[in-house]
Copies of this chain bind each other. A is one copy, B any other.
Amino acid sequence: MTRRRRGPDPARLALNCATVRRQWTLPQMIEGCLRHGIGGITPWRDQVAAVGLKQSAALIRDAGLAVAGLCRGGFFPAADQAGRDRAIRDNLAAIDEAATLGAGCLVLVVGGLPPGSKDLAGAREQVAEGIATVLPHARASGVPLAIEPLHPMQCAERACINTLDQALDVCDRVGPGVGVAVDVYHVWWDPNLGRALARAGEERLLGYHLCDWLVPTRDLLNDRGMMGDGVVDLPSIRGQMEANGYAGWAEVEIFSDHWWSQDPDHVLATMKARYLSVC
């Protein structure tokens, strides 16, 4: 296991709001970040909508927090043209919201197979076309798009882009303004991870998400672990991110029925302590 001499930077810790989404509203999360000395926040669009976009932006700005990213755009593939058009409109709206919030990027969970479809290559083509369609608006709005490759076990239902290399192929195809969000949960197993991070390079490494892979994992979606409770060599991946120039947020995103049932202040205290000790 590679242990970097330099520890993780406390000033780079960010809260992805999925981590305490069952316990807190967005205003409570903002207050929680302040209480625990967490400088960055990545809200989800439904959490923003519940408060109102302008009010959310003002609350975060007044709290002095940075918006690491906005979750999420994507879900491009659809069974028919009307569905694809709806996805485009929704992504254009998400770009506007990200711009209003001053988000560092809009995270794209690209979508899986349309219902009833087995055409995986076709779904992947729809994703590339969808991103290309909304990219001019993202560029004009100053919002980088961050493709998040999801674990292959979520290929059918959530994202048919499943490796960093595959995401970078889309980036190469559509041109500047698109990069990747690297979530350790989704990429830790990839034998090509090191080469793909080098291929991405500083310009395209737009986000870094932290949690851990539990053994055993009991659910395909909501059984992610707190950093240190699983088997991912987190210092090694951080080292590779930094070696390729990444100096952005380390964003803790834990989908977990366990952590969603805990006192949210305990969750934030634990994630901060673990970030400093095992990441």
**Chain A interfacial positions (CB closer than 8 Å to B):** 1, 113, 117-120, 124, 151-153, 155-157, 160, 162-163, 165-166, 188-191, 213, 215-218, 220, 231-233
- Chain A contact residues, majority secondary structure: loop
Give A216 to B113 CA distance when docked, in angstroms: 12
Question: Which listed residue (B166, B216, B231, B233) contacts A191, Cβ 8 A?
Answer: B166
- Residues of chain B with a CB closer than 8 A to A162's CB: 189-191
Asked if A119 and B233 sit within 8 Å, CB to CB, the answer is: yes
Chain B residue with the shortest CB-CB distance to A212: B118
Asked if B155 and A189 sit within 8 Å, CB to CB, the answer is: yes
Question: Which listed residue (B152, B217, B233) contacts A120, Cβ 8 A?
Answer: B233
- Residues of chain B with a CB closer than 8 A to A190's CB: 152, 162
Asked if A191 and B163 sit within 8 Å, CB to CB, the answer is: yes
Asked if A120 and B157 sit within 8 Å, CB to CB, the answer is: no
- Residues of chain B with a CB closer than 8 A to A191's CB: 124, 162-163, 165-166
- Residues of chain B with a CB closer than 8 A to A152's CB: 151-153, 189-190
Question: Which 5 A-B residue pairs are closest in the complex by CB-CB distance?
Answer: A155-B189, A118-B233, A153-B153, A152-B189, A166-B191
Chain B residue with the shortest CB-CB distance to A162: B189
Give A178 to B75 CA distance when docked, in angstroms: 40
Asked if A217 and B153 sit within 8 Å, CB to CB, the answer is: yes
Could you pull out 26 A-B pairs where Cβ atoms are within 8 angstroms? A117-B231, A118-B231, A118-B232, A118-B233, A119-B233, A120-B188, A120-B233, A124-B191, A151-B152, A151-B153, A152-B152, A153-B217, A153-B220, A155-B189, A156-B189, A156-B215, A160-B189, A162-B189, A162-B190, A162-B191, A163-B191, A165-B191, A166-B191, A216-B220, A217-B220, A218-B220
Give A166 to B192 CA distance when docked, in angstroms: 9
Give A215 to B113 CA distance when docked, in angstroms: 10
Question: Which listed residue (B118, B188, B218) contacts A1, Cβ 8 A?
Answer: B118
